[in-house]
């Protein structure tokens, strides 16, 4: 069984006694900064000079420093910038000012796991990763609830790194829901696999393939959209509430029977073998190298793939259909061309 921790297991005063710099003010950055501040922690937001996020942070009442100054000032430096830029930020602005006794913190282990960031042995290196987007982390905290976190320690120079990680998790609301102990390697490899094989890559391409199968057979694109994409949220919500068993309990007997007899025809032994190959590419660093090398070239492959996927017919059909939903008026047709919300 996983090792679980809750509010009573964590000492909030540990993080309250630290000065914390949050590097980045995107989805996760704004949530960490605001939740910690509400928990009585002294926080500054660390951004590169000229960052467009500086005014947003200032408007929320935060002092904004450049990353080098923030690193010198802080006891704990939480890096919440996108994976592909973390090593540059670290090399140029953090490493030269990372004095003995400080703590380097992450919400994803990518750069540490694959060796793009190698911290000195004289500092603690911890991970505190909420398992939800930052806006949800903030919303749940304000509501008096929390999002489950996972925590890890890569280097325990002080002998108190685990206590600090747990205290930080309490500061952002994680221990209200529950915190699981892991390692940088386990968090990174399982996170990347889940994204690629199931949550993002697997799901989106399964939806596209289902849409293509129905429209190729002559069915209306609008009907295909509803059947393979729109109802997906309803199914996933049931899984979140009570697992796969509740989803199967909630649907019709016809749908449940179809699940049992047809699901294995789609997700076959060949599919599982492909998943193992995806996992192998993650474990041996192949995916990380491909991603970082492409980013170093300006993201040529990334942009080409993004543009190609955006042209899929399901996107055009969905854009029109989503206008039908009154509850969706505020977010429909949002401009997603800027990329990850973490930025």
- Cα 161 to Cα 172: distance, rounded to the nearest angstrom: 17
Q: What is the dihedral of CA 323, 324, 328, 329, to 10 degrees?
A: 60
The question of whether 32 is a catalytic residue gets the answer no
Among 30, 32, 97, 108, the active-site one is 108
* H or E element in which residue 20 lies: strand 19-23
Pick the closest to residue 127 from 186, 207, 54, 71 (CA basis): 186
Interaxial angle between packed helices 269-283 and 184-193, expressed in degrees from 0 to 180 and rounded to the nearest 10: 140
Tokens read off for 111 = 């750069």
285 bridge partner residues: none
Contacts of 58 (CB under 8 A, 6+ apart): 64
- Cα 107 to Cα 83: distance, rounded to the nearest angstrom: 10
The secondary structure of the chain in percent helix, strand, coil, rounded to multiples of 5, reads 60, 10, 30
- Residue pair 129/151 in contact (Cβ under 8 Å)? The answer is yes
Catalytic residues: 108
């Amino acid at each position: 069984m996983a090792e679980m921790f809750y509010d009573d297991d964590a000492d909030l005063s540990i993080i309250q006694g630290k000065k914390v710099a949050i590097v980045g003010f995107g989805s996760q950055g704004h949530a960490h900064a605001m939740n910690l501040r509400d928990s009585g922690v002294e926080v500054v937001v660390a951004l590169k000079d000229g960052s467009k996020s500086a005014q947003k942070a200032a408007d929320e009442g935060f002092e904004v420093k450049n990353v080098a100054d923030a690193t010198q000032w802080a006891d704990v430096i939480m890096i919440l910038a996108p994976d592909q830029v973390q090593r540059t930020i670290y090399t140029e602005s953090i490493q030269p000012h990372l004095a003995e006794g400080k703590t380097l913190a992450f919400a994803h282990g990518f750069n540490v796991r694959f060796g793009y960031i190698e911290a000195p042995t004289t500092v603690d290196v911890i991970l505190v990763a909420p398992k939800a987007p930052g806006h949800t982390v903030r919303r749940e905290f304000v509501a008096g609830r929390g999002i489950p976190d996972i925590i890890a320690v890569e280097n325990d120079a002080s002998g108190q790194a685990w206590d600090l990680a747990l205290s930080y998790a309490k500061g952002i609301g994680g221990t209200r829901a529950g915190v699981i102990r892991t390692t940088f390697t386990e968090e990174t490899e399982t996170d990347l696999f889940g994204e690629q094989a199931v949550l993002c890559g697997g799901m989106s391409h399964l939806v596209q393939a289902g849409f293509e199968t129905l429209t190729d057979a002559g069915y209306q694109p609008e009907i295909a959209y509803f059947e393979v994409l729109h109802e997906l949220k309803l199914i996933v919500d049931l899984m979140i509430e009570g697992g796969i068993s509740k989803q199967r309990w909630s649907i019709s007997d016809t749908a449940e029977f179809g699940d049992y007899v047809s699901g294995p025809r789609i997700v076959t032994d060949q599919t599982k073998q492909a998943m193992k190959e995806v996992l192998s590419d993650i474990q041996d660093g192949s995916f990380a190298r491909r991603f970082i090398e492409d980013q170093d070239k300006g993201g040529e492959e990334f942009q080409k793939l993004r543009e190609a996927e955006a042209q899929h017919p399901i996107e055009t059909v969905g854009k029109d259909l989503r206008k039908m939903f009154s509850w969706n008026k505020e977010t429909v047709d949002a401009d997603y061309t800027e990329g990850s919300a973490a930025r």
